[in-house]
Structure 1
């Protein structure tokens, strides 16, 4: 009797339990991530919103004049079962549906995930491990910016195993939805990858999830959607 009749779920399960045939050792992944941190730098400066080009402030929102990127709204919340019954807060509204996706492929017969080291403001230690593509509040169709491997998801270049619109956390994001996608490519594809990316098995991903400040929330959420255990 087969545990998983679906071939992709079986491949994920085998990748979860397999400690052999890993294209990168756990130590190699740690070394890759640590080396990138040595050269990563993020400088944050406080400024007056009125001094920023193309951003406008209205009575209840802050937004970009182009209508792209994101909008910051001011809202008033009223509830009956919290420690506070009423409060005011800012909340972010995305301008377009986001894309969060993993590219996976078999290497030496074992399914691997393409993970990126992503620099974001607010990360505890500058970099975190993220999905292959993560475009949530930004305008990924903006020609001024290039997102590695985005075309695989926009053009469905591979076998689509998972393609679902999911709502995000509602306490800080207003009606935010992101397209969560998992695409499998041929083993002959993507043999040369960007240095900010690395292949790892589902077993290795499971190990990193045990520790804080490695896998970000988007990667954790997408893994939870597709892993059988």
Structure 2
């Protein structure tokens, strides 16, 4: 039976340095798994309508999602109030990765999926990536393959099962059920699905815009036994890798004890007064609906656009929908530091309008730099310059990775992990050990989706450099 120790052992499995067979499979798949996207005015979307009272954009079935207006106030922040469009998708979807051992090595079953917003077309998605509207058939298409492994999973097969948030700046209290389920079944081969070892997936994270956001958030829950991995690998690993292995252990020392870390999270959530009020689109100061789109008058932040989609290799062949898009790539950056031989990441509690519980632990830097050009210096992201201008030898990870392509059109973020020797005693930030972050992932709504994305990138640094 697959356990955390067997996952740990599988991290040491040899990896095809070129992933040649996988690359050939992807090129073949592009011929029959794809989407073709045509921008179109919001007013022309089939099955979508604009509510005459609120200006909100809704689906005529009452399913899927809506684009609504929101006014947000926060008591403690450089910008105390703003308004914006936001995606309201109240249903909880399933993001699930099926794992199985082949010859004693754990493999993940991932799906090559073409989402309308994907950069580069195909990206690796979880085994199941489905909203409730999708898996209950509201789209009128085919059934979601392999869903039964997650909806009817026996408890002893479930390695991880946690409800986690989506992008709190774009979704209103959106959550998904993140699952990793083990099986011993002979799962039938399906077009577009591929078994990959854990190190293969971690290595593919180093390729731009290939492993999608939903896969990254699920794989951040990988339950490998860090202590077992350290015993196997620690003797031959280089010093930095030994530090990372030690740091993944929940028993490793940390600057702030768990009790102190929990108190910090609770204090920020308690003393920060927030208000998220639904409002009409006409009430959104600075936002305009014109020429078939919704955009801010400064052309910053994001636009709401309409698209028509033709697809192959999906449950539905044609549809239209609104999407969010941005004119500039974002930056997600972690500063990491060795403290008493244990790797720590510099994190902050970030308040976002769509989060369920006020604020979640976020990366050192999480921003679209151009969005801050018009704001006072106090509102500019701390540590952005240090992350972007780090010396090459200090940059441990640097890859463009996309947001989920079902709601976001062409949006990608530069993921950076940068080692520093600076102490950085900023009052709004804390040095948190990797083991503490791993431990918090057993619970809902502690790490935001951007932090979870960077955490799985950090796992990729466990690979031998010769494998990457």
Instruction: Name the TM-score class by shorter chain.
Output: 0.7 to 0.9
Shift of 1:147: 1.2
Shift of 1:76: 2.8
Shift of 1:82: 5.1
Shift of 1:150: 1.6
Partners of 1:26 and 1:84 in 2: CA distance: 47
Shift of 1:81: 5.6
Equivalences for residues 1-229 of structure 1 within 5 A: 3=234, 5-17=237-249, 19-79=251-311, 84-136=316-368, 139-144=371-376, 145-156=379-390, 159-186=394-421, 188-190=422-424, 192-194=425-427, 196-227=428-459, 228=462
Partners of 2:285 and 2:446 in 1: CA distance: 34
Shift of 1:60: 2.3
Structure whose CA Rg is larger: 2
The equivalent of 2:182 in structure 1 is none
Q: Are 2:250 and 2:438, in contact at CA under 8 Å, matched by a contact in 1? A: no
Partners of 2:270 and 2:286 in 1: CA distance: 34
Partners of 2:395 and 2:372 in 1: CA distance: 20
Shift of 1:189: 2.6
Shift of 1:5: 3.8
Instruction: Judge which range, 196-205 or 153-162, deviates more.
Output: 153-162
Q: Are 2:336 and 2:417, in contact at CA under 8 Å, matched by a contact in 1? A: yes
Instruction: Judge which range, 56-65 or 208-217, deviates more.
Output: 56-65
Partners of 2:329 and 2:280 in 1: CA distance: 29
Partners of 2:240 and 2:410 in 1: CA distance: 31
Shift of 1:80: 5.4
Shift of 1:181: 0.5
Which digits, 9 at most, give the CA deviation of each residue in 1:70-105, with x for residues without a partner?
111122334456555444322111121100011111
Partners of 1:35 and 1:138 in 2: CA distance: 31
Q: Are 2:348 and 2:363, in contact at CA under 8 Å, matched by a contact in 1? A: yes
DSSP 3-state at the match of 1:33 = helix
Cα gap change, 1:138 to 1:208, in 2 (>3 Å): farther
DSSP 3-state at the match of 2:263 = helix
Partners of 1:83 and 1:17 in 2: CA distance: 41
Partners of 1:52 and 1:136 in 2: CA distance: 21
Partners of 1:106 and 1:173 in 2: CA distance: 36
Shift of 1:171: 0.6
Partners of 2:381 and 2:297 in 1: CA distance: 23
Cα gap change, 1:135 to 1:199, in 2 (>3 Å): same
DSSP 3-state at the match of 1:221 = helix
Partners of 2:445 and 2:283 in 1: CA distance: 34
DSSP 3-state at the match of 2:279 = coil
TM-score, normalised by the number of residues in structure 2: 0.45
Q: Are 2:246 and 2:252, in contact at CA under 8 Å, matched by a contact in 1? A: no
Partners of 1:182 and 1:214 in 2: CA distance: 20
Gaps of 5+ in 2: 1-231, 464-468
Give the number of aligned pairs: 226
Partners of 2:341 and 2:373 in 1: CA distance: 35
DSSP 3-state at the match of 1:220 = helix
Q: Are 1:118 and 1:128, in contact at CA under 8 Å, matched by a contact in 2? A: yes
Cα gap change, 1:17 to 1:88, in 2 (>3 Å): same
DSSP 3-state at the match of 1:103 = strand
